[in-house]
Amino acid sequence: MTDLFATTALVQAKLDSIAAAVQRFATKAGLSCPTGCGACCHSPEVEAMPVELLPMANHILASGVNVETSGLTCPMFRPDAQNKMLGRCGAYQFRPSICRIFPYGFSRDKNGGFRWRQCSKMENPAASINAAIQDVLAGNGVSYEVARHSPQDLAPNMAETMPINAALSQAVNALGLRQAVFEEKPGVS
């Protein structure tokens, strides 16, 4: 049987690697998300795989946080006191690949070329975006296809793409069941 807690650590390492590549691109391009934006966090269309949410599920179980995954807003979103549409991630360190790469990633268009997915909430990119795009074309950037599928080989049975709240629910249930059956503690193999 797969040791999900060990797999969780491997997934976290892959997500951290993706984040480092994204940060290099964002820095070179002069891009950043608006402070406290949270627009993606309110979208039920954001998708993830349960495998990439294992680190977040482990964090939830280890901290005893009670999360509600049946709503449209990401359960880890922490709204600003003055404006509930603004806020931050309550589990930023454990966020899945889509939260790390959008809007800094590229996808391939139908002709095989790269297309940058610019978020409508970001200001127009600086001129330095062109140098960063050249890095992507040279194979030094972050592609959605690579980043999104990077963790799936670690737990293929948890690699189905679905709405993020459903994926988080499955990851929490999988780790919680393993914890209950094998009396393992989150974060411990």
DSSP state of 80: -
pLDDT confidence band for 171 (50 / 70 / 90) = very high
| Residue 71 covered by a domain | yes
DSSP 171-183: HHHHHHHHHHHH-
| Residue 188 covered by a domain | no
Q: Give the pLDDT of residue 47.
A: 87
| Residue 189 covered by a domain | no
47 forms beta bridges with 163
| Residue 137 covered by a domain | yes
DSSP E strands in 24-179: the ranges are 47-48, 77-79, 87-89, 106-108, 114-116, 162-163
State how far the Cα of 153 lies from the Cα of 17, in Å rounded to an integer. 15
Range of the domain at 42: 4-182
Residue 1, pLDDT > 60, answer no
Q: What percent of the chain has pLDDT over 70?
A: 68
Q: Give the pLDDT of residue 188.
A: 41
Residue 189, pLDDT > 50, answer no
DSSP state of 126: P
Q: Report the range of poorest mean pLDDT among 53-57, 65-69, 83-87.
A: 65-69
Residue 132, pLDDT > 60, answer yes
> How confident is the prediction for the chain on average, in pLDDT?
77
| Residue 104 covered by a domain | yes
Q: Give the pLDDT of residue 93.
A: 93
DSSP state of 64: T
Task: For residue 131, give the nearest of 32, 33, 34, 24 by alpha carbon.
Answer: 24
Total-model pTM: 0.79
Give the count of domains, the chain: 1
Q: What are phi and psi of 48, to 5 degrees?
A: -155, 175
Give residue 12's identity as a one-letter amino acid code. Q
Q: Give the pLDDT of residue 23.
A: 82
pLDDT confidence band for 168 (50 / 70 / 90) = very high
State how far the Cα of 124 lies from the Cα of 115, in Å rounded to an integer. 16
Task: For residue 92, give the nearest of 41, 141, 49, 50 by alpha carbon.
Answer: 41
| Residue 118 covered by a domain | yes
Angstrom CA distances, 159 to 18, 22, 105, 150, 155, stand at: 17, 22, 20, 10, 7
